[in-house]
Structure 1
Amino acid sequence: MKKINIDGRVIGPDQPPYIIAELSANHNGQLETALKIIEEAKRAGADAIKLQTYRPDTITLNSDLPDFQITNGLWKGRTLYELYEWAHTPWEWHQALFEHARKLGITIFSSPFDTTAVDLLEDLNAPAYKIASFEAVDLPLIEYVARTGKPMIISTGMADAEEIQEAIDAARGAGCEQLAILHCVSGYPAPPEDYNLRTIPDMIERFGLVTGLSDHTIDNTTAITSVALGASLIEKHFTLDRNGGGPDDSFSLEPAELAALCRDAKTAWQALGKVDYGRKSSEQGNVKFRRSLYFVEDLNVGDVINHDSVRSVRPGYGMPPKFLEKIIGKKVKNNVIKHSVVKREDIDEC
């Protein structure tokens, strides 16, 4: 069975879903807010908090030519450089954020967007790396991350099956032994109908990796459903206040919602269980509500059982009703009293 291990936590189909709270740009330029988000993620029960490590100059060019203009969506009217200047997590914060998370006992790692970001995160001893969807085609970056020897998660938004395989091959070829992929729709927010969650079991079969979901819908329904289809990891953007006005606030979970995700994803995983047609522990006390055969008159040894002698009633401690016609016409071997349970040992030739 495929599994990976991040910071001592085993992740795979036989483990509860691994919940990643994506801090992204939801600090809104305030270190104190970023620290508070880490605290709330820990309180909600998330397994990890994830950052994004870039500067505007490491992710784009400072240009206002048409290629660099955002013309629709949440960030309409900005250039790419302006967006990433607004949204980035300052590199000088990273040490404080890592130290705070480790003090609280929540795993922290990041998405690097270039090799200098990887170097920074290596200096901080990041336990794992996440490749963002838009970087899944940056095979040299994937190879650079793979050479760290750390576990890697690749998000696959916008990537087709061939591109996903290329990313996997790049990671494996550069030495990545612990690799997971996330089904993702790179819309912000993304409508649930775009998610096509039936892709998840196909990904598991096709690529043979630990597989999860990066969810940009605005509630938990899609994420919880993904667990039933085999998702072992779930990543959701997380904020203190959806109305905070930051780049990603509007499609992020608030603390109570993240707590619900952590709780309900585990419940969904527990409910999957295994193939089992037997009586469950919670059902044991309810046998009295099943039907079974009971004598409804006194009979002496040698008396013949007829339709007036027995009935199918509750509780279910006697022979099943399917044996009713088989015992009609048979003799009792022992004296039986009215309202006693019908047992095989009391019936001749049964």
Structure 2
Amino acid sequence: MEMNLKIKVANRLIGEEEPAFIIAEAGSNHNGKLSQAKELIDAASRGGVDAVKFQLFKAEFLYAPQHPAFSIVKENEFPRDWLAELTTYANKKGILFLASVFDREAVDLLMKTDTPAFKIASSDTVNLPLLRYAASKKKPIFLSTAMCNLADIYEAIEVIRNEGNEQIVLMQCSALYPTEPSQVHLRAMDALKGAFRRPVGFSDHSLGILLPPVAVARGACAIEKHFTLSRKMKGPDHSYAIEPDELKLMAQNIRTVEQSLGSLEKVMLPEEKKLARRESLFARQDIGQNKEITAEMIEVKRPATGVEARFFLAFVGRKAKRAIKKGDPLLWQDAEA
């Protein structure tokens, strides 16, 4: 499988050496109210994330009416006639509008709003007909991988690729809400990247905001996190979601982590060099011109304004080219070879 470690969503590159793409997952926390959906978009915009995401599930496409889950899902559906208005609203707020698709109708509706990408929930990673249809639209796909083994993920990727679509981000996650830290398995991101040579992100269902920055430190190129206006609200997704102030702090922490990663080089920083907080060679006594420099004439002190202390023995035995005063730093140009 060829390497494709970067993709592009709208004007944002996602992958190695790029800032993490942060998705604020609103889920069904709109509670069926358009005004509340807009408040969620407002909070996501203020939180400094890249995208806000909702879920376009429809009970009739997921369960038979007699199934116990049917009524719960029905109550929490995202009204599809909101799509155009909320997409425009999000764009005006400076963030992207994304949605998880669970059926072909949802794919078509998002195409009408020129969605920048599709999200495929873990439950549908093995829904190959849906994957095939979404992939045929040639939009980037965020592919969640809970409940999946490597064979499931390989098959899903091949279905997408067979439609001529290489724009895939694999999302490590679990299908447990909330997820305990011991169930998160961030190291699985390494396995996904190694096996499939694709950008890998982390969809976090744990409580709090600790793990997304940790995931970024381990190489996650995208982060998805459920959020709500208040955990006190009624609904299936509110209790484990983070609130707006936490979302903003999480995004800030992620950006701080990215800054702290730095480069692969191990060198003295320019600012450290200015501090000169290391030892160097100094004259322990006055040294006359043409005088041979002995070990007794040299001492090691701070700051590092003279010859580095490691060259102590290399400096012994040289002749002073000039008179050197006690306490002066010793420089290479002060002594003959």
- Aligned-pair identity (%): 34
Corresponding position of 1:69: none
Is 1:127 paired with 2:116?
yes
Rounded Cα–Cα distance in structure 2 between residues aligned with 1:323 and 1:117: 71
The partner residue of 2:34 within 31, 34, 41 is: 31
The partner residue of 2:55 within 52, 77, 88 is: 52
- Please give the residue correspondences for 1:36-185 in structure 2 after superposition, counting only pairs within 5 Å: 36-64=39-67, 79-185=68-174
Moved more, 128-137 or 270-279: 270-279
Moved more, 184-193 or 327-336: 327-336
Secondary structure in structure 2 of the residue aligned to 1:126: coil
The partner residue of 1:222 within 207, 211, 230 is: 211
The count of corresponding residues between Structure 1 and Structure 2 is 334
> 1:55, 1:90 within 8 Å by CA — same for their partners in 2?
no
Is 1:15 paired with 2:18?
yes
Secondary structure in structure 2 of the residue aligned to 1:243: coil
Matched AA of 2:206: T
Is 1:282 paired with 2:285?
no
> Alpha-carbon deviation of 1:273?
2.6
> 1:2, 1:208 within 8 Å by CA — same for their partners in 2?
yes
Q: TM-score, normalised by structure 2?
A: 0.95
CA deviation digits over 1:28-79, x for unaligned, max 9? 2222111100011011111001111122112211124xxxxxxxxxxxxxx2
CA RMSD, 1 decimal? 1.5
Rounded Cα–Cα distance in structure 2 between residues aligned with 1:242 and 1:285: 50
Change (3 A) 1:346 1:282: closer
Matched AA of 2:143: I
Gaps of 5+ in 1: 65-78
Q: TM-score, normalised by structure 1?
A: 0.91
> Alpha-carbon deviation of 1:329?
4.2
Gaps of 5+ in 2: none
Is 1:342 paired with 2:330?
yes
Rounded Cα–Cα distance in structure 1 between residues aligned with 2:308 and 2:298: 12
Rounded Cα–Cα distance in structure 2 between residues aligned with 1:232 and 1:282: 30
Matched AA of 2:45: K
Matched AA of 1:331: K
Is 1:331 paired with 2:308?
no
Secondary structure in structure 2 of the residue aligned to 1:23: strand
Corresponding position of 2:293: 305
CA deviation digits over 1:246-290, x for unaligned, max 9? 211111121111112222212222322321122223323211x21
> Alpha-carbon deviation of 1:82?
2.2
